[in-house]
Structure 1
Amino acid sequence: MIKLEKPATPQILIDKSADWTSTLLALVQQYSEYSKIPTTVKETVLKNYRHVQIKEALYPSSNKKCAFCESFPEDSGNIEVEHFHPKSLYPSEAFDWNNFLPCCRKCNSAKSDHDTKTSPIINPYIDDPENHLDVETICLKPKDQLGQNTIDVCQLKGTRLYRPFSDLLVNFKQFEDDLKDALDELAEKNTPIKKRNHLIKIREAIDRLENLMKPQSQYSFFCKKTITSSNVYQRAKILLEKEDAKAS
Structure 2
Amino acid sequence: MINLTKGLKPLILQNHANQWTNEALIFFNAGNRIPDAIINKYNHPNVKKALIEETNGKCAYCESFILDVDYGDIEHIIPKRKNPLTAFEWDNLTLSCSVCNNNKGDYFEQPTLLLNPYVDNINKHLKVFATLVMHVNGSTKGEFTHKLLKLNRAPLPEKRREAIDSFQNLIDKYYRENHLLLKDILKDEILSMIQPEKEHSLTLKCYAIAQELDFIF
Alignment-derived partner of residue 218 in structure 1: 199
Alignment-derived partner of residue 7 in structure 2: 7
SS at match of 1:159: coil
Q: Per-residue deviation at 1:118?
A: 4.0
Q: Distance in 2 between matches of 1:180 and 1:14?
A: 51
5+ unaligned residues in a row in structure 2: which ranges? none
Alignment-derived partner of residue 154 in structure 1: 149
SS at match of 2:116: coil
Q: Does 1:72 align with 2:65?
A: yes
Q: Per-residue deviation at 1:201?
A: 2.1
Contact 1:77-1:106 within 8 A present in 2 as well: no
- Identify which range, 5-14 or 62-71, moves more after superposition: 5-14
- Picking from 149, 164, 170, the partner of 2:165 is 170
Q: Does 1:113 align with 2:94?
A: no
Q: What does 1:223-238 align with in structure 2 at a 5 Å threshold? A: 223-231=204-212, 233-234=213-214, 237=215
TM-score (norm 1): 0.78
Q: In percent, how many aligned pairs have the same letter? A: 27
Give the length in aligned residue pairs: 214
Q: Distance in 2 between matches of 1:88 and 1:145?
A: 26
Largest Rg, 1 or 2: 1
Q: Distance in 2 between matches of 1:15 and 1:178?
A: 53
Q: Distance in 2 between matches of 1:84 and 1:116?
A: 11
Q: Per-residue deviation at 1:136?
A: 0.4
Alignment-derived partner of residue 244 in structure 1: none
- Deviation digits for residues 67-88 of structure 1 (CA, Å, limit 9, x no counterpart): 1111111466322211101112
Q: Distance in 2 between matches of 1:51 and 1:84?
A: 17
5+ unaligned residues in a row in structure 1: which ranges? 187-197, 239-248
| Cα RMSD (Å) | 2.1
Pair 203,81 (structure 1): closer, same or farther in 2 beyond 3 Å: same
Pair 116,57 (structure 1): closer, same or farther in 2 beyond 3 Å: farther
Alignment-derived partner of residue 26 in structure 2: 26
- Picking from 20, 42, 48, the partner of 1:49 is 42
Q: Distance in 1 between matches of 2:94 and 2:194?
A: 21
TM-score (norm 2): 0.89
